[in-house]
Amino acid sequence: MTTPQTLYEKIVAAHTVEQLDEETVLLYVDFHIMNEYTSPQAFAGLHSADRPVWRPETHLAVVDHVNPTRSIKSLDEMDDADARLQIENLGRNCQRHDIEIFDLFDTRQGIEHVVVPENGYALPGMVIACGDSHTTTYGALGALGFGIGTSEIEHILATQTLVYQVLKPMRVRFEGALPDGVTGKDMVMAFIAEAGVSGAVGYAVEFQGEAISALDVEARMTICNMAVEGGARAAMIAPDEKTFSYVSGRPRSPQGEGLDAAKAHWKTLQSDPGANWAKEIVIDMTRIAPQVTWGTSPDQCSPVNGQVPDPAAIDVASDRAAAERALEYMGLTPGMKISDIHIDRVFIGSCTNSRIEDLRAAARILEGKRVADGVVAIAVPGSQAVKREAEAEGIADIFRDAGFEWRGSGCSMCLAMNDDFVPAGERCASSTNRNFEGRQGRGARTHLMSPEMVAAAAVTGRVTDVRNLQKD
């Protein structure tokens, strides 16, 4: 009898070219994605060593991080010369090595982790790497996706492999049914709050449970995407019928008989009963309310009906110091109600929450309402395809009528490398994944939450339990 294996272990085993030592393998990479800001130095390294790209057809480049999200017809309309250089440089590198690129004016352009599944590039069982930490997103399809640095980008370009340190398997089981008004975002935020931002460092996480099965594939992507904020370098959900129907019929998915054969294989991508987990966490779904961060680290998070904690109550000195610093930066006082936090800006976007289901969910809250006085609201769809779909469905009109600016796609105010940023001292309700100091702009104060919660904050001007609006 073969030893029972986890899904993660199966995929690693199927991609091991060679075992290098006890913990390290030479791992074969099926697919690799690049953006304009972490890849230039990798190409430069390749060129200075005069090495070819091993398999150009397994790479895709996407412009998403530095581009403006206002509509432009040519790069000449960009005022940021450095950003323009990065975009042009990516184009030149792709042309030189015959690598496919979704440039700014391609109808398939968007945030890398949105366009890759959308176009069927990510499939169950694959190993996918990208110079971006949120590559864990593809775990939602039963693929092993993980982020890498620039040196590793160069390594994949040149060798199609990575020297990969194998992680320990960890299971996170959500017990109980998904309560009304609770989303995938709340589930992953609750997981991070429970495990801490380093709780999954060194582990490959697999999410299981009834509530996970109940989620649509896009909500599962939100979970796997943000799991990296808990330190997980792999976050997976075993593929099921929902996954198969999600990937079927997309431009780069297998078709016809190939699809049937692929499905037969995909069905084997499950953790075996009796597989060994190095760590397990159980999260009780009945205890999960919509989540909101109050600090500058994603685990500094509370249910919306909770309070800003008192650092004095934290035992570990370094954590206490970090919480004090966070509250000072955020301009909050211990003990105040989370729902008393007022909001200056709202942002719906990012690879965590800018897919069509996210926009639909936010639109259900916004329909027939107006953004509160003084609140600046922008929505940035995750891809141009999502944008077109939302426009066709009338969602864009709901956003505009509510007083949102409706933009083109890109990372935008998630990391504020373009001109979309939150001014110092202002407070932003954001559907993104990182509330780090300065992430959305120097001095910007970020409160992470689901897109529904962002919509609720937009219309009331303060952090608001979306379940109260849903009752209306």
Partner 1 sequence: MKKFETLAATAAPLFLPNVDTDVIMPKQFLKRIDREGLAEGVFHDVRRTDDGMLREDFPLNQARYQEAKILVAGRNFGCGSSREHAVWGLLQAGIDVVIAPSFAGIFFGNCEKNGLLAITLPEEQVSRIVDLVEGSERPELKVDLENCQITLPNDDVIDFEIQEARRRNLLEGRDHVETTLAKADAIRAFEATRQDPRNW
Name which of 38 and 307 has its Cβ closer to ligand SF4.
38
Binding at 126: pick from ligand SF4, partner 1, none (beta carbon under 5-8 Å per type): partner 1
Give 54-80 as a DSSP string.
S-GGGEEEE--SSS-SS--SSGGG---
When the beta carbons of 52 and 374 are compared against partner 1, the nearer one is 52
Interaction between residue 414 and ligand SF4 (CB under 6 A)? yes
Residue 101 in the binding site for ligand SF4 (CB under 6 A): no
Nearer Cβ to partner 1, position 37 or 174? 37
CA distances from 247 to 55, 121, 360 (A): 24, 9, 20
Give the span between the Cα atoms of 394 and 382, in whole angstroms.
17
Question: What is the footprint of ligand SF4 within residues 124-153 (CB under 6 A)?
Answer: 132, 134
| Dihedral in degrees, nearest 10, Cα atoms 207, 14, 24, 62 | -70
Of the candidates 335, 329, 337, 354, the residue with the CA atom closest to the CA atom of residue 427: 329
DSSP per-residue letters across 450-468: -HHHHHHHHHHSB---HHH
Antiparallel, parallel or unpaired: β 427-430 and 345-348: parallel
Residue 52 phi/psi, 5-degree rounding, is: -80, 170
**Least Å distance between CB 35 and ligand SF4?**
7
449 scored as a contact of partner 1 (CB under 8 A): no
Residues 315-334 that bind partner 1 (CB under 8 A): 318-319, 321-322, 325
Binders of ligand SF4: how many residues, by CB under 6 A? 11
Task: Report how far residue 349's alpha carbon sits from residue 377's, in angstroms, rounded to the nearest whole number.
Answer: 11
Task: Please check whether residue 185 is in contact with residue 48, taking contact to mean a CB–CB distance below 8 angstroms.
Answer: no
Sign of CA dihedral 16, 19, 24, 26: negative
9 binds, among partner 1, ligand SF4, none (CB under 5 to 8 A by kind): none
Considering the complex, state which of residue 369 and residue 434 has its C-beta at the smaller distance from ligand SF4. 434
Bridge partners (DSSP) of residue 34 are: 61
- Decide: helix, strand or coil at residue 256: helix
Pick the piece of the chain touching ligand SF4 (CB under 6 A) from 20-28, 89-97, 196-204, 409-417.
Answer: 409-417
Tell me how far apart the alpha carbons of residues 381 and 133 are, in angstroms, rounded to a whole number.
20
Closest CB 439 distance from ligand SF4, rounded Å: 9
Angstrom distance (rounded) from CA 354 to CA 357: 8
269 binds partner 1 (CB under 8 A): no
Site for partner 1 in 148-187 (CB under 8 A): 148-152, 154-155, 158-161, 163, 165
Residue 86 binding: pick among ligand SF4, partner 1, none (C-beta 5-8 Å cut-off by kind): partner 1
In a 13 Å sphere around the CA of 182, the CA atoms on its Cβ side amount to: 24
Name which of 431 and 460 has its Cβ closer to partner 1.
Answer: 431
* Residue 138 near residue 173, CB atoms below 8 Å: no
Residue in the structure block whose two tokens are 């897919």: 355
Q: Which of 297, 350, 353, 354 binds partner 1 (CB under 8 A)?
A: 297
Which 435-464 positions form the footprint of ligand SF4 (CB under 6 A)?
Answer: none
CB of 265 to partner 1, least distance (A): 7
Shortest CA distance to 108 belongs to which of 71, 94, 116?
A: 116
Question: Of 125 and 410, which has the nearer Cβ to ligand SF4?
Answer: 410
Site string for partner 1, 129-148 (x = CB under 8 A): --xxx-------------xx
Q: Considering only residues 338-377, where is the footprint of ligand SF4 by CB under 6 A?
A: 350-351
Using CB distances below 5 to 8 A depending on partner kind, what does residue 182 bind out of ligand SF4, partner 1, none?
Answer: none
Q: Smaller CB distance to ligand SF4: residue 6 or 350?
A: 350
Which residues from 49-88 bind ligand SF4, rule CB under 6 A? 65
Kindly identify the residues of this chain, within the stretch 401-430, that bind partner 1 according to CB under 8 A.
415-417, 424
Instruction: Output Rg (C-alpha) for the chain, integer angstroms.
Output: 22
In the bound state with partner 1, the residue whose beta carbon lies nearer, of 140 and 366, is 140
Q: Work out what residue 243 binds among ligand SF4, partner 1, none; the CB cut-off runs from 5 to 8 Å by kind.
A: none
Site of interaction with ligand SF4 (CB under 6 A): 65, 111, 113, 132, 134, 350-351, 411, 414-415, 433
